[in-house]
Amino acid sequence: MGVPFRIFGSAMHSWRNCMPAGMCLKSEGFASNLYDPEGSLTLAAYCAARGLHYQDVGYPIPIETFIQYGLEFQRRLVPTLEETDITRLERTSDGFALQTVDGQALSARRVVLAVGIVHFGYVPPALSGLGPDHVSHSSQHHDMGTFRGRSVAVVGAGASAVDLAALMHEAGAAVHLVARRAAILFHSPPVEPRPWLQRALNPRSGLGLGWRSRFCTDAPLLFHALPLQLRLRAVRNHLGPAPGWFVKEKVVGRVPMHLGAELTRVVVRDRHVHLTWARKGDGESTLVVDHVIAATGYRVELQRLRFLDERLRQSLRSVADTPVLTTDFEASVPGLHIVGLASANCFGPLARFAYGARFAARRLSRSLGDARLWF
């Protein structure tokens, strides 16, 4: 669109640092492309060029393949990336002032925050007081080897929790899975080809099967126009915690699971964590482990973006501590745009996945291209 820009951050940061080595993507191959307008570097093309196995549907993509694909994508299509962090962002009379971690000062008329998940790891209050030796968030772990020979409780029932439990078990840790849910809702393996009636009743989309997911991928602007409470409920409930089908055999019968377990007391005694929970009709149980991992997901809270100047943070209009955005991803502070996970309450679950990048990139670049005419 001819809009001059600078881009900061670390390519594939969350995939290289905040997710476990050895995991596979839950999104299907066709839904795991990084977006460029010409479609010149799809995941399928990347894999074909390297002789790596690939299928549009039904073959879990190893995270290592996706990371290498992303790094190649950045080298070829975004070579101007500056691998440094922004440590301060504040509003000025004609735009924004930014500071990088290495002390550079710069200014911009507009800023796009695409900070993804990295600032938003959520640890529930029952665990948050334990201290870093005894509790950590799932996003702090990439190399499972560091847990070999240790006892670990993974708290959670979603993909992060089950992936971590499986990989830690394989790496030689004594892992327990503890979850409030009464059952782990594994995805079903895809069956292809499907009869026409199945396809009509349950269409495939970049977010999985079903008309709800299809609505989310095809109509994010309609989603934006839905009443607030309906949007919040849809983002909370649609595509809830569910591990991929391919992890099931790695945990069932191998990793002890304590389900329907509501944590009632967590204390550190003799350098071990004593985790006590209650189960309906089943009294209390206590597990003693070296370390607890909260695989309890991500919660967007604008206040956690500490690099935003306090006044800028306070002046952002928000609902449930997530930003209120126009259909051009613009926040209540003019010139500040926010995409990715933090935009999900406005544009729906699509914003949480790689598949959503196409909509965000096209919509935002068009709007920035138009805005250029006015400044």
Ligand X SMILES: Cc1cc2nc3c(=O)[nH]c(=O)nc-3n(C[C@H](O)[C@H](O)[C@H](O)COP(=O)(O)OP(=O)(O)OC[C@H]3O[C@@H](n4cnc5c(N)ncnc54)[C@H](O)[C@@H]3O)c2cc1C
Using CB under 6 A as the criterion, which residues of the chain lie in contact with ligand X when the complex forms? 8-10, 13-14, 19, 25-27, 32, 85-86, 114-118, 159-160, 307, 340, 352-355
Beta strands, E only, the chain: 86-92, 95-100, 105-108, 111-113, 135-137, 151-155, 174-178, 204-205, 208-209, 257-258, 262-269, 272-278, 284-289, 291-294, 318-319, 322-323, 336-338
Q: Nearest distance from residue 118's CB to ligand X, in Å?
A: 5
Which residue, 186 or 353, is less far from ligand X as judged by CB? 353
Residue nearer to ligand X on the CB measure, 85 or 274: 85
CB of 24 to ligand X, least distance (A): 8
Cβ neighbour number for residue 172 with a 10 Å cutoff: 13
Shortest Cβ 59–ligand X spacing (Å): 13
Where b means 16+ CB within 10 Å and e means fewer, 205-231 reads bbbbbbebbbbbbebbeebbeeeeeeb
Q: How far is the CB of 285 from ligand X (least distance, A)?
A: 28
Nearer to ligand X, 27 or 367 (CB): 27
Using alpha carbons only, give the angle 243, 289, 249 rounded to the nearest 5 degrees. 30
| CB of residue 286 to ligand X, shortest distance in Å | 29
d(CA 298, CA 295): 9
Helix (H) or strand (E) holding 70: helix 63-77
Q: Name the minimum Å distance from CB 195 to ligand X.
A: 27
Integer Cα distance of 282 and 298 in angstroms: 30
Nearer CB in complex with ligand X: 36/276 = 36
- Computed on alpha carbons and rounded to an integer, the radius of gyration of the chain in Å comes to 22
* 337 in Cβ contact with 112 (< 8 Å): yes
Instruction: Return the number of the residue (243 or 287) whose C-beta is nearest ligand X.
Output: 243
Q: Which residues have CB under 8 Å from 375's CB, separation 6+?
A: 109
> Which residue lies nearer to ligand X by CB, 162 or 273?
162
Query: Of 33 and 318, which CB lies nearer to ligand X in the complex structure?
Result: 33
State which residue has the least CB distance to ligand X. Answer: 116
Which ranges of 78-176 would DSSP assign to H, the alpha helix? Answer: 125-128, 159-170
In angstroms, give the least distance from the CB of 84 to ligand X: 7
